[in-house]
Structure 1
Amino acid sequence: MTGRLRPGEVVLEGAPDPDGPRLRPIGRIRSPWGPGDCPRNIGRARETGRPARIDLDPAFAPALAGLQVGQPVILLYWMDRARRDLLVQAPRHVTEPRGTFALRSPNRPNTISQATVRITAIDPDSATIGIDAIDCFDNTPLLDIKPWLETVDLPPR
C-alpha cells in the first residue's frame, strides 16, 4: 500500500511476504467510525460515548463461556485499511519523525492493533459482545479476545 509521504518518512521497499503467517478472523468489529471520523486512540473513542459491538463468527460462540459483563478484555484486530510499508512516520502530534515501533499508529508491517475494552453485553445465542468503545473502522476483522488480568497485564513498577 502506498500513499503520499510526509517530510522525514521512510518506507519499506518491497511488499509484505504474501506467504507469511495465516490468521483467521474470529469476527468483525462493528463501530460507528469510518475514514475521516475515527478517533486516534481508545481514550478519545471513549470520550465520544459511542459504544460498539463484536459480531463473532457463530462457530466461536462456545469460546464466550466464562466472559462476563463489566469484564475488561483485550481485543486484537487487523487494521485492514492501514499502510504496511512505513518504517519511519511523521504524525502530526509529534515534533519529529519516529520509528514505527515507537508509535501506536495503525500503519505498521503487520497491522495488528490492540485495545483494552469493557464488555457491556454478551449474547451467546447471536454471538455478539457489546463493548464500551473502540478506535477502528466499522467492519474491522477481529483476530482474538483475551481477558485482561491485573496480575498479568500491569507492567512491573
Structure 2
Amino acid sequence: MNTPRPGEQPLPGPLSADATLAFIGTIRSDWAPGDCPKNLTQAREGGGGNARLEIAAPFRPGLEGLAPGDGLILLYWMDRARRDLIRQHPGHRDAPAGTFALRSPVRPNPVAMAVVRCQSIDPVAGIVGIDAIDAMDGTPLLDIKPYLPSVDVLPGAGDQASSSRA
C-alpha cells in the first residue's frame, strides 16, 4: 500500500469478506493505469475511451428491453483501488475529508457508479456500446440498471450548486 498523505487515516485492520458478488461482465476501454480519467466528464472530453461492456453469456438475457439511447447506471468494482483509507486528502482539495464525502475509488468497498448512454447493443454477443467510461480496461462489471429520470433525479437538483467532490 502507498504511504498515506498528511491528514489521511487508514482503517485499523483488514476488511472482512462477508458478501459474495457475481461479476456480470467486463468493462472495456482504451484507458490504462496512469491515463484513466478521474470522472465521466473527463472521459467524455477525452473521446469516451472506446467504451463498451462485455456481458458474460449467462447474463445476456438480462439485456432484453435495453435499447440504444437508453440511459444506464453501471455499478463496477474498482479492482485495482486501495481499500484501506477512511479519510483521504485528494490533491485538488485543501483539507482531508472522509471517504464517504468523496467520489474517490479508494474506499472500503471500491464500488463505482456511472450514468452512461447506451450507444449500441448486440445481445447475442453480449456487447453494449456506451458513450464513455472512467474505468480502466478490464474492470469487473457488477450490475446495469436503467436510468429513470422520474426516479433517479434529486428533487430540486437543478437548483443545487455543482459539487467540487471527486
Which residue does the alignment assign to 1:46? 44
Letter of the 1:60 partner, please give it.
F
2: CA distance, partners of 1:60 / 1:48: 30
How high is the TM-score relative to the length of structure 2?
0.91
Normalising by structure 1, we get a TM-score of 0.97
1:7-86 to 2 correspondences below 5 Å: 7-18=6-17, 20-49=18-47, 50-86=49-85
CA distance in 1, matches of 2:93, 2:87: 13
3-state SS of the aligned residue for 1:115? strand
State the alpha-carbon separation in 1 of the partners of residues 58 and 150 from structure 2: 30
SS in 1 for 2:41: helix
Shift of 1:51: 2.6
Alignment partner of 1:102 is 2:105: no
SS at match of 1:119: strand
Identity across aligned pairs (percent)?
54
The CA distance in 2 between the partners of 1:51 and 1:36, in whole Å, is 17
Please name the residue that 2:115 is paired with: 116
Number of aligned residue pairs: give it: 155
Equivalent residue of 1:129, what SS?
strand
| SS of equivalent to 1:130 | strand
RMSD in angstroms over aligned alpha carbons?
0.7
Structure 2 runs not aligned, ≥5 long: 157-166
Structure 1 segments (4+ residues) deviating >3 Å: none
Deviations, residues 48-69 of structure 1 (Å, cap 9, x unaligned): 1133110000111111110010
